[in-house]
Amino acid sequence: MHGAGNDFVVLDNRDGAIGLTAELIKRLADRHFGVGADQVLIVESPQNAGNDFRYRIFNADGQEVQQCGNGARCFAQFVVDKGFTDKSRIRVETLAGVIEPELIRPNWVQVNMGPPSLSAESLPFVAEGLSSRVNGKLVQYRLPIDVAGHSEELWVSLVSMGNPHVVLFLDQAADDVRVQSLGALLESHPRFPQRVNVGFAHVIDRHRMHLRVYERGVGETLACGTGACAAAVAGMKLGMLGERVDVIKAGGTLTIEWAGDADHDVLMTGPAQTVFEGVFYL
């Protein structure tokens, strides 16, 4: 399946019969010797009887992660298509908490992603010793980094959507060299002890933004749902964006809505599409 080009292998493991290992995940995600995917998504039975499903996400490197917004939409489409539920709106457990995807029309899903967190501790990010500033209603940190043999100081915006994001706002859309070199450096920067997803954002106007995301454990993807949420939230707090934003990625556009404070949830709307089904021999 894919959501705006962010692609997934989706497995039904409600009965727990599949022995999940990092090696199996990497085999499935391998684009040459496996199926090929940015992430592998697992459908499981809920641990709490008040919820409908449990949703587990593994990056292509085999690491389990907390959240994936594009995957959440595909997850919802998958369980409806398979007849696992007759509900259009479901409650789904994730490592980051419960989310509520809603199928609003065929292959089009809105997900309540919950509230964002803007604290350095929530990513986590080691801010000790760094300069900071308040820009609009957002605290930004000045992060020194060596890029291609020369030093730069970046003002970074931090947002957790259940998984960690650092967002850089640029005067123009980022080029390939910038995304690959700086993305790799920031993803594994020691000030992000659990690594981080890196967003390169360019605001077009108050309701449109271009975004590229270098995802931890994957590299750049054609779309990143939580990355779109994080960049939109940061742009709103900086006063650059309105409460409803179309985030334009190489794989498609996601619509993000947020009322602007920590008491409100972020809503993400976009496509979810099945590409093919098959059998993978273990």
Phi-psi region of 50 (alpha: psi -120 to 50; beta: other; left: phi over 0): alpha
- Residue 247, classified by CB atoms within 10 Å of its CB into exposed (0-12), middle (13-18) or buried (19+), is buried
What are the Cα distances from residue 127, in Å, to 82, 132, 190, 234, 268? Answer: 46, 9, 11, 18, 29
Token code pair at residue 155: 């003002």
45 Cβ contact list (under 8 Å, min separation 6) = 14, 15, 16, 53, 54
AA letter at 52: D
Token code pair at residue 136: 């609009």
CB atoms within 10 A of CB 188: 11
CA angle 104, 108, 110 (to 5 degrees): 60
| Residues facing residue 266 across a β-bridge | none
**Rounded Cα distance, 130 and 159, in Å:** 17
Name the DSSP letter for residue 173: P
Closest CA to 158 of 181, 180, 182, 135: 135
Instruction: List active site positions.
Output: 68, 224
